[in-house]
Amino acid sequence: MTDRYILALDQGTTSSRAIVFDHSGRVVSVSQKEFRQIYPHPGWVEHDPREMWSTQAGVAAEAVVQSGVSTASIAAIGITNQRETTIVWDRDTGEPVHNAIVWQDRRTAGLCNELKARGLETTVREKTGLPIDAYFSATKIRWILDHVDGARAKAAQGKLAFGTVDSWLIWNLSGRRLHVTDATNASRTMLFNIHTLQWDDALLALFDIPRSMLPEVRQSSQVYADTQTSLFNATIPLAGVAGDQHAALFGQMCTGAGMVKNTYGTGCFLVMNTGEQPIESRNNLVTTIAWQIGNQVTYALEGSIFIAGALVQWLRDELGIIRHARDIEALARSVEHTDGVTIVPAFAGLGAPHWNANARGAVFGITRGTQAGHLARAALEAIAYQSIDVVRAMEADAGLRIGELRVDGGAVENDLLMQIQADLLGVDVVRPQIQETTALGAAYLAGLAVGYWNDIAELRQQWHMDRRFVRHARAEDVERGLAAWHRAIRAAKAWADAAS
């Protein structure tokens, strides 16, 4: 297998990426291209599905060319994707009927509030593991059917297809023949029963969505089809799919119950492997499918934080206090502490464990002496504090204390952020040598399906640590900071409640 490779497609929130991996899990080549973020109204976020596909197709071809290997040497393609983002397209023309509605989009928060007021949250959570929230796909599909001219009539005739981003990519890679998804992405729609592993008719009726729109649900690691596209001069098996956070959990080799990873991207996503049994959260976390390999389903607890790296982008793009995202570390190091400044980055509401759609961002503790460095350091602390809230909720649900936190994502290059996280969390934060863990997880799932790797035990041997961050801060300083953080959270919620 040393002369064969795996191609991973990583379709994220802001860019499309493609990575070629060799048999040791080493990155051979990378290609990446950003695409437009569309904001039609405050709180609305859209992508152009055509641009998502064209950029993903472009970087896939480019990564193979850059690798210097032939298409015939690509053993399989694995796909990982931003989750919950909703695309509806015409089965006959293959054209989207509307822009993709992105996971961050809050346009259906009112509908979600209506459903919760009807007392439906318990029913939905028991079946799907999810709270009723605009974050997930179901109400986004409903919105498209209700607001796009002719969409509901076409859907009733079986002419429309719904898919999360993985389904859209597979549809195009397979020559518009295959309409499928995997269990991880299905589990994020608010339409999939994670216990029966089936689309739920009662939920489809609740959201008024025809079953004919839905893709077939497959395992996370199996051969779906061969490519039928002019991108490559040979066919390649499409063999592994997982939503980005599930793929990152697998790429981090968090394959034992109780292992936890945190991905620091646009948002923060903490996921705990809970083994073969789903754990019902009593602390506002999400119960989800980690992956399905063969007949074995592995479950997880997840806490989704909406704003993490996006907070750094805000400091760069809107406030202009840094020129590049990487500059935040040096700016934050220019001061020893935040001087009492606390940022609550609720730009799109608060995710886990608060799930407050009305909350908005706030900055507390500003004085005449507040400097850019204080804001930069407070931003890094806000990312870490949000993660602590989720970890503590996970520990309460699972009835255990985590031993370490494995980390990945673009922000883990920031040593100061990682140290702050270790200081505030009180457990070791471990950064792997190969940090492309999301794409690597998709590659692993695809490779297992075609026998490129033998089993998970072989994959575990490939995981190696880059650096371990341990706590240096004094416990009393940490407790004081946590108290200020939770006071700021309460204040941000109160401000939002007073306005509603």
- Asked if the peptide bond before residue 353 counts as cis, ω within 30 degrees of 0, the response is yes
Q: Is residue 244 part of a domain?
A: no
Under 8 Å between Cβ of 221 and 446: yes
Count of residues making up the chain = 500
User: Which pLDDT does position 2 carry in this prediction?
Assistant: 65
Q: Are residues 119 and 221 in the same domain?
A: yes
Give yes or no: residues 444 and 301 share one domain.
Answer: yes
Q: Is residue 393 part of a domain?
A: yes
Neighbours of 337 (CB within 10 A): 13
Annotated binding site for glycerol: 83-84, 135, 244-245
Last residue of a domain, one of 235, 261, 292: 235
Q: Out of 235, 270, 290, pick the residue that ends a domain.
A: 235
Q: Does residue 245 belong to any structural domain of this protein?
A: no
Calpha distance 461→475 (Å, rounded): 36
Judge whether 241 lies within some domain. Answer: no
The structure's pTM equals: 0.89
For 318: left if phi > 0, alpha if psi spans -120 to 50, otherwise beta; the answer is alpha
Residues 6+ apart with CB under 8 A from 338: 365, 374, 377, 378, 381
Closest C-alpha among 305, 220, 319 to residue 266: 305
236's tokens: 């390649």
* Same domain, yes or no: 156 and 129: yes
Residue 216 inside a domain? The answer is yes
In order along its 500 residues, the chain shows pLDDT tens digits of 668 999 999 999 889 999 999 999 999 999 999 999 999 998 899 999 999 999 999 999 999 999 999 999 999 999 999 999 999 999 999 999 999 999 989 899 999 999 999 999 999 999 999 989 898 999 999 999 999 999 999 999 999 999 999 999 999 999 999 999 999 999 999 999 999 999 999 999 999 999 999 999 999 999 999 999 888 888 999 999 999 999 999 999 999 989 999 999 888 999 999 999 899 998 889 999 999 999 899 999 999 888 899 999 999 999 999 999 999 999 999 999 999 999 999 988 888 888 887 888 999 999 999 999 999 999 999 999 999 999 999 999 998 889 899 999 888 999 999 999 999 999 999 999 988 899 999 999 999 999 999 999 999 999 999 999 999 888 888 899 999 999 999 999 888 877 66
Same domain, 167 and 264: no
State the sign of the Cα–Cα–Cα–Cα dihedral 165, 310, 110, 245: positive
CATH of the domain at 88: 3.30.420.40
Domain-located, residue 243: no
For the annotated binding site for ADP, the residues are 13, 17, 266, 309, 410, 414
What pLDDT is attached to residue 435?
Answer: 82
Is beta strand 192-193 parallel, antiparallel or unpaired with respect to 198-199? antiparallel
> Do 192 and 268 belong to one domain?
no
**How many angstroms separate the CA atoms of 10 and 440, rounded?**
9
Cβ(405)–Cβ(421) under 8 Å? yes
Report the domain count for the chain.
2
The answer to whether the beta carbons of residues 169 and 9 sit under 8 Å apart is yes
Residues 299 and 231 in one domain: no
Q: Which long-range contacts (CB under 8 A, 24 or more apart) does 30-37 make?
A: 30/63, 30/66, 30/436, 31/58, 31/59, 31/60, 31/62, 31/63, 31/66, 32/59, 33/58, 33/59
Known binding residues for sn-glycerol 3-phosphate: 13, 83-84, 135, 244
In 10 A of CB 141, how many CB atoms?
A: 29
Annotated binding site: 13-15, 17, 83-84, 135, 244-245, 266, 309, 313, 410, 414
Task: Supply the pLDDT for residue 245.
Answer: 92
Laid out side by side, the sheet with 15-21 consists of 27-34, 15-21, 5-11, 74-81, 237-243, 221-226
Question: 403: helix, coil or strand?
Answer: coil
Its domain, for residue 377, covers 253-499
Q: What does the pLDDT read at residue 474?
A: 87
Residue 233 structure tokens: 């001069």
Annotated binding site for ATP: 13-15, 266, 309, 313, 410
- My answer on whether 119 and 223 are in the same domain is yes
Residue 197 located in a structural domain: yes
What per-residue confidence (pLDDT) applies to 179?
97
Strands (E), 145-264: 160-163, 180-182, 192-193, 198-199, 216-218, 221-226, 237-243, 260-264
R_g over Cα of the chain = 22
Q: Which of 207, 235, 263 is a domain's end point?
A: 235
Q: What are phi and psi of 426, to 5 degrees?
A: 85, 10
> What is d(CA 491, CA 497) in angstroms, rounded to the nearest whole number?
10
pLDDT of residue 1: 60
Instruction: For residues 269 and 214, state if they share a domain.
Output: no
Q: What is the pLDDT of residue 374?
A: 97
Are 67 and 210 within one domain? yes
Same domain, 57 and 110: yes
Tokens of 157: 């005739």
pLDDT of residue 229: 87
| Per-residue pLDDT, 43 | 85
Sign of the Cα torsion 298, 301, 303, 309 reads negative
User: Are 123 and 263 in the same domain?
Assistant: no
Locate 494 and state its tokens: 């109160």
Domain-embedded: residue 471: yes
The answer to whether residues 277 and 221 belong to one domain is no
